[in-house]
Amino acid sequence: MLLNILFRIVIPSIIFSTVEFLPAILLRGESFELEHFLYKTIGGGTYWFTSALVVAQLLFVLLLSMRIRNVWFYVNIGATIGLGATYLITNDYWSEGTNLWAYKHGLISMFFLSLGGLYWRYETIITKWLRWYIILPLVAAYTYIVGWHYDIVGCVISTFRLNYLGIIASVVICFLLPKMMTYIKNIRAITYLGQNTIGFYFMSGALPIVLSMVVHKVMPGSSALGLAIVFAGSMSIGYVAVYLINRFMPWLLDLRTLKRKRTAMFLLPAILRR
């Protein structure tokens, strides 16, 4: 788990944030500052989601080292940490200070990560329970809450826009999405997206910003068409970029692939002799 955290999340985050840093400050018209560069790269300040994931997973590694086999032990601790951090954020007890590797987001995310473990443990039971006559009312309730009362529903962890109604809505959709995906699991584009989520996440920062700037020059103001163009362009370029990375530079997403390639090249003569 520690090696996966290091090679599949930490190092790729640093690599991509380093590549993105200079173009980002040039687009914003900012000047280069070493302290800001170190925070955005080594400090995990560019990609809040992967940074928070690192913190949350490291906490679970510590918990797993206790080797307790009851899933509810981890769920209760994760939920307590997550809801406690949410309380501190929403009541402005924790609004100041640095946020290296988005540790505040990571502590909040412990709640949802623990629910992921709960879902994994009882997936068969949950899947059988989620019939269409239960799914439809839940989807309708979620759509109503978020669509018509978005101004009072806080469910955005990235900006600490949180409240308990928003957390309930997030929990509902987190349990519904895996079930909904079973109906479209044979669509190759979606399957590929699911298999390469980290790569697409790294593409989701710079691409929409650059495309938005380009579209805004051609189509000033906000419009549904402009949003659709930015979304379609970001996804299309993202698919191409992730494919090229997987095909020619997989080490960007896991440095261990370089070692496996060297091992394969070393074993190739022996394999051919056989």
Q: Dihedrals φ, ψ of 173, to 5°?
A: -70, -30
CA separation for the pair 13, 254 (Å, rounded): 11
The residue with tokens 């997550």 is: 82
Amino acid at 95: S
pLDDT score, position 126: 86
Q: 199 burial class (0-12, 13-18, 19+ CB within 10 angstroms)?
A: buried
* Nearest C-alpha neighbor of 204 from the set 177, 170, 242: 242
pLDDT score, position 274: 59
Contacts of residue 63, Cβ cutoff 8 Å, sequence gap at least 6: 73, 74, 77
Domain-ending residue, one of 121, 156, 178: 121
- Assigned domain for 193 exists: yes
Question: Taking the CB of residue 36, how many other CB atoms lie within 10 A of it?
Answer: 15
Question: Helix (H, G, I), strand (E, B), or coil: what is residue 155?
Answer: strand
Q: Which helix (H) or strand (E) holds 128?
A: helix 123-129
- Assigned domain for 141 exists: no
CA separation for the pair 107, 59 (Å, rounded): 9
CA separation for the pair 112, 79 (Å, rounded): 8
pLDDT score, position 47: 92
Domain-ending residue, one of 121, 137, 158: 121
| Domain count for the chain | 2
Q: Is 108 in the same domain as 193? A: no
- Assigned domain for 177 exists: no
Domain-ending residue, one of 121, 145, 163: 121
Under DSSP, the state recorded for 184 is S
Q: pLDDT 10s per residue in the chain (274 long)?
A: 999 999 999 999 999 999 989 888 887 788 889 999 999 999 999 999 999 999 999 999 999 999 998 999 999 999 999 999 988 888 878 766 778 999 999 999 999 988 888 888 998 888 888 888 888 888 888 888 888 877 778 888 888 888 888 888 888 888 888 887 777 777 888 888 888 999 999 988 788 888 988 898 888 877 889 999 999 999 999 999 999 999 999 999 998 988 776 665 555 555 555 5
pLDDT score, position 230: 93
Contacts of residue 17, Cβ cutoff 8 Å, sequence gap at least 6: 40, 41, 44, 45, 46, 47
Q: Which structural domain range is residue 90 located in?
A: 1-121
- Assigned domain for 10 exists: yes
- Assigned domain for 225 exists: yes
